[in-house]
Structure 1
Amino acid sequence: MSEYRIGAGGWGYFDIPGTDPLKVYSKAFDFVEVNSTFYNIPQLKTVDSWARRVPETFTFSVKCHRDLTHKYLLSPIKGAGGLLEAYLDICRRLHSNLLVLETPRSFNPNQAVDNINDLLSRVQLDDIRLVWEIRWGPPGKELVKLMQEFNIVHCVDLSREPGPAFESDILYSRLFGHGLHNLYQFDDAELLEIDKRVQDSGSGSMYLSFHGGRMYKDAARMKVYRKGGQFPRVTQYTGVKALREVLQEDARFPASKEELIKAQGWKVIDMEGDRRVHAKALLDKLDKGMYGSVGEVLEGLEGLEGL
């Protein structure tokens, strides 16, 4: 029986005053990618507290510290093996079998296959799977061979790529979309395409980790769709009123048309007929020029057909 888990990159922003964010998050989702571990090595008592605060059916994946991937570059040098072992221990304490590695765009692992093999041969992975996001580019033939030998999962962004370089029993996708600095929200068509790519993978265990400006809402919408076959609304209003709704959140004025599109166009709004579009679709209809307020933006759209 296959499992399909949907979550986000951390629970730190899942903040409801007076509540424990992790406990509340674990009631909404059954999976989380722990991202804070990329920047800081947590105390084991903290890790143990995470495990105690979630249901037994909840799943963690752990992002490995950046020193291993960005400083040591997965080489078998002093400190690398110990750091990897420490993170494998964190996974075990969380009953997690997923350790996420993210190597930078500047590092070409195809030229470091021997070093990576040496490092991984020194540790006992047991049933923990390494999930590797290779930002440099696609893995070459020798690197794919190494990844398969160590049972590594090739992690890709299914909003940007059709799938991993090779088939695996596990599919893991870190989803960022197409925005600047991870500012992005997925519309219905994009979520449908992601889901199709997941289904086409043929994997037995599938994990979607949403990242970005609306990651909790994106993950929740995908869960609702998976359960009932329809996407929920994202805004209270539709059309121009929906645009007003999202602009009032944080739009800064004065701003040019181009600045508004860059800062606000990534957000998704509801339209008539149970459909959703990016705010850019409406902002594109503005005349070029400067706008001093949300009201001036709405005035600029008055009388336009379809709004």
Structure 2
Amino acid sequence: MIIVGTCGFCEAKKKYFRDFNTVEVQQTFYKLIQDKTLQKWEQEAPKDFIFSIKAFQGVTHPPTSPTWRRSNVKPTPGVGLLRPTPDVFRYWELTLREAEILGAKFVLIQLPKSFKETEESFNNAEKFFSKIEKRDFTIVVELRGWSEKGIKEFVREFNLIDVTDPLVREPLHVGKINYYRLHGAYQKGRIIYKHKYTQEELQGIAKKVKEWNKKESYVYFNNAYMCEDARSFIQTLAF
């Protein structure tokens, strides 16, 4: 089973719910969302629709991250980087609450490049994951700038789903689910979000996703042309 969606609603929700079977909610990363808003989305979605939510940046991103400029919360010094602080644990609990209201399947922990592949990061993660609740959610993690060895150790140690771009590498975990995020093109270590995938690229992605397929695979487009590319990819998968 391969399910395709986008990172954020790329069109009006009513139309999106007709066009796609899943979405990775981005608003939950930037802001704390009111219960009534999440309840409305859950009620508007088809019963079999799959929500994934991105954990609030207070869990993952330090106060220096420019992403905080879009937040409705002012960051305190101890936020981000999975540091075992009261604020990080509080924001995780708020993220779980949002996931429960939406009836989400996944919670994405997307860590910034400032979460370095160091002993300190592993220690913070160990303390964080040893204390938090996961409840019934599947936790997926995207690590940026880490070696394959480090990623494999991280996801196995904390029993997480490794998030990857299929054009970059194969998932580095053993499990029944693969979770992909397609950001666009890569140039000299930078992501070019304003990249439209060619048909040849989509065919290559489809081939890899099918070859690596577990029981379930989820593919989320996160580039500037995400809606169009996601639709094209669904058609590509049919062949």
1:176 alignment partner, one of 179, 183, 188? 183
Task: Tell me which residue corresponds to 2:147.
Answer: 138
Residue equivalent to 2:101: 93
| Cα pair 1:110 1:139 within 8 Å, conserved | no
Deviation at 1:61, TM superposition (A): 0.5
1:3-26 CA-partner distances (Å, limit 9, x unpaired): 211011111x41xxxxxx112101
Q: Report what 2:23 is aligned to.
A: 32
Equivalent position amino acid for 2:8 in 1: G
Q: Residues 226 and 139 of structure 1: is their aligned pair in 2 closer, same or farther, counting only changes over 3 Å?
A: closer
Decide whether the 8 Å contact of 2:163 with 2:179 is kept in 1: yes
Q: Distance in 2 between matches of 1:165 and 1:49?
A: 36
Matched with 2:162 is: 154
User: Do the aligned partners of 1:7 and 1:208 also contact (CA within 8 Å) in 2?
Assistant: yes
Instruction: Write the distance in 1 (CA, Å) between the matches of 2:222 and 2:154.
Output: 28
Deviations 1:140-199 (A, max 9, x none): 45x63452243211101112x131222321111110121664001111111111112211
For residues 85 and 31 of structure 2, the distance between their equivalents in structure 1, rounded to whole angstroms, comes to: 20
- The corresponding residue for 1:119 is 128
Structure 1 position 225 matched with structure 2 position 232: no
Contact 1:131–1:152 at 8 Å: present in 2 too?
yes
SS of the equivalent of 1:90 reads helix
Deviations 1:198-239 (Å, cap 9, x if unpaired)? 112241111110011211000001112223x2xxxxxxxxxx
Query: Is the 1:106–1:136 Cα contact (8 Å) retained in structure 2?
Result: no
- Which residue matches 1:240? none
| RMSD, aligned α-carbons | 1.7
Q: TM-score, normalised by structure 1?
A: 0.67
| Equivalent in the alignment of 1:257 | none
CA distance in 1, matches of 2:208, 2:174: 13
Contact 1:155 1:164 in 2 (8 A): yes
2:185 match: secondary structure: coil
How many aligned residue pairs are there? 217
- Per the alignment, in what secondary structure is the counterpart of residue 79 of structure 1? helix
**Could you tell me whether the CA contact under 8 Å between 2:206 and 2:236 is conserved in 1?**
no
Distance in 1 separating the partners of 2:222 and 2:161: 19
Alignment of 1:57-76 (within 5 A): 57-71=48-62, 72-76=80-84
Structure with greater contact order relative to length (CA < 8 Å, sep ≥ 6)? 2
Task: Normalising by structure 2, report the TM-score.
Answer: 0.84
Query: 1:110 and 1:198, CA in 2 relative to 1: closer, same or farther beyond 3 A?
Result: farther
Q: Which runs of 5+ in 2 are unaligned?
A: 63-79
Q: Which runs of 5+ in 1 are unaligned?
A: 15-20, 230-307
Structure showing greater Rg: 1
Give 3-state SS (helix, strand or coil) of 1:99's partner.
strand
Shift of 1:91: 1.3
Residue in structure 2 matched with residue 128 of structure 1 by the alignment: 137
Distance 1:127 1:9 in 2: 22
Q: CA deviation at 1:58?
A: 0.6
